[in-house]
């Protein structure tokens, strides 16, 4: 990654692409959710809903894993564009503190973008709706690995 690449899709392009190929998920890729989307970095904000909660008003693990997946997939798609096929091959997550919301902030950092493999590093924390999360005390951290190939 010596040279900073230009993104092939911005947040609107990303949303358009998902709406076309995977309409059921278009809300998850709403452009308003991306506080930042730039080379090697994405910050995604997610307002917790009642469906995400476990007993004790804790956000469920599957919701956290889904956020890690969305943020890292968004970042890779933004880099590679719609001609690429990126398939998740591995995810490893540690849950560190009770995730409380009301907004979950998920940072994805792309630490490897090779020809056949991409890896992103995820940090998730809670924030009030408009404010900054305290990511020095994250609620979860994860590493996500993708296998890459060209569709055409």
Q: Does 62 bind its own copies (CB under 8 A)?
A: yes
Nearest CA-CA partner of 102 in 34, 32, 50: 50
Encode burial over 79-115: b for 16+ CB neighbours within 10 A, e otherwise: bbebebebeeeeeebebeeebbbebbbbbbbbeebee
The site for its own copies, by CB under 8 A, has a size of 39
CA distance 73 to 86: 8
**Residue in 3, 6, 50, 129 binding its own copies, rule: CB under 8 A:** 50
Of the candidate spans 6-14, 75-83, 99-107, 109-117, the one that interacts with its own copies by CB under 8 A turns out to be 109-117
Q: Is the peptide bond before 73 cis (omega within 30 degrees of 0)?
A: no
**Residue in 69, 77, 80, 106 binding its own copies, rule: CB under 8 A:** 69
**Residue in 12, 47, 87, 128 binding its own copies, rule: CB under 8 A:** 87
Sites of contact with its own copies (CB under 8 A): 1-2, 21-22, 24, 50-51, 54-55, 60-62, 65-66, 69, 87-97, 111-112, 116-117, 119, 121, 136-138, 141, 143, 145, 147
């Amino acid at each position: 990654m010596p040279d900073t690449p230009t993104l092939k899709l911005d947040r609107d392009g990303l949303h358009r692409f998902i709406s076309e190929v995977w309409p059921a998920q278009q809300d998850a890729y709403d452009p308003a959710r991306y506080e930042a989307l730039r080379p090697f970095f994405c910050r995604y904000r997610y307002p917790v809903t009642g469906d995400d909660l476990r007993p004790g008003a804790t956000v469920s693990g599957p919701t956290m894993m889904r956020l890690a997946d969305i943020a890292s997939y968004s970042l890779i798609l933004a880099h590679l564009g719609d001609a690429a096929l990126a398939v998740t091959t591995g995810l490893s997550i540690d849950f560190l503190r009770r995730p409380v919301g009301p907004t979950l902030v998920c940072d994805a950092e792309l630490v490897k973008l090779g020809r056949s493999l991409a890896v992103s590093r995820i940090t998730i924390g809670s924030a009030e709706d408009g404010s900054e999360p305290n990511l020095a005390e994250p609620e979860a951290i994860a590493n996500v690995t993708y296998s890459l190939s060209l569709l055409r």
